[in-house]
Amino acid sequence: MSTPAPVHTAVNTPTRFAEVKGRRIAYRDLGQGVPILLCLRFRGILDSWDPAFLDALAVHHRVITFDYSGLGQSTGEPSYVRKKMAQDAIDLADALGLERFVIGGWSLGGIAAQVVTRLHPERILKTILIGTTPPGKVRFGPKPIFFERALKPVNDLDDEVVLFFHPESQKSRAAAVASHNRIAARTTDLSPAIPMPTVLKMMAETRAEDLFVDDDGYRDFLKRTDIPVLVISGDQEIVFPVENWFDLTPQTKSVHLMVFPQMGHGPQHETPQVCADLITSFIRNN
């Protein structure tokens, strides 16, 4: 009898590599259907995504995650300059033969996803933005506790509760533990953490950018684009307060804002199935 082919999930799907322009981008590819390319958060690596969220998305879609150049298992020069992160996404899409796709991103990755959408609108089917900021000047900035926790050399579960969940909610704290354990279930073929000197160097390089400077018409683009954009945020967001979207969304034609109550910076980790179902419905019906 032949041995059945292994069933790939986010916990065991292999890391692959795409050779692009003299560097190697590490990525993972899960599921079939409309492709979704997901851009990572600050200090994120391939293993920073909750497997339950990726698995739920992969029921109906081809879900592709990747390490930015020079980070995790990717080679090249590391950078958090938004156009360089966006170029990583486009170069990977080219390498995989994706003519049109859904672009998504979490936190810093949401900025990269907006840049991809603005610079390559003819290739974007939908845009999914999780826990991120709109372009240009905003009224509310990150809370100090974000920097206190996010810039620690090593983050533990307690840091994750503060950074991505809502510490004052018992339900949210329990969800943080569950998500942490799901991520820890992958024990092989892991991407290495980003060294702190590299993080600080990249931050210094982008400090002048002031989060998301509107230097290329990004905000006006969001106002006039017909590309459906879904913004997902928690109402207890400490990094990119959701209130900053309230000033922009009434002026747009295709931006949809979904706010999750009593959740923080990572609603897709707190309620992975609900967020995946929301994204699936949005892609299917818009």
Would you list the domain boundaries of the chain?
Answer: 16-285
Q: Domain 16-285: give its CATH code.
A: 3.40.50.1820
What is the predicted pLDDT for the residue at 211? 76
Q: Which residues contact 55 (CB under 8 A, 6 or more apart)?
A: 9, 10, 30
What is the predicted pLDDT for the residue at 210? 63
The alpha carbon dihedral of 37, 43, 46, 47 has a sign of negative
131 - beta bridge partners?
Answer: none
Residue numbers of the chain with a pLDDT score lower than 70? 1-6, 207-210
Please tell me the distance from the alpha carbon of residue 27 to that of residue 275, in angstroms, as a whole number: 22
What is the predicted pLDDT for the residue at 5? 57
Spatial strand order of the sheet with 255-260 comes to: 16-20, 23-30, 61-66, 34-39, 101-106, 124-130, 229-234, 255-260
CA dihedral 280→73→16→206, nearest 10 degrees, is 50
What is the predicted pLDDT for the residue at 4? 57
pTM of the model: 0.96
What is the predicted pLDDT for the residue at 206? 81
Please tell me the distance from the alpha carbon of residue 48 to that of residue 191, in angstroms, as a whole number: 9
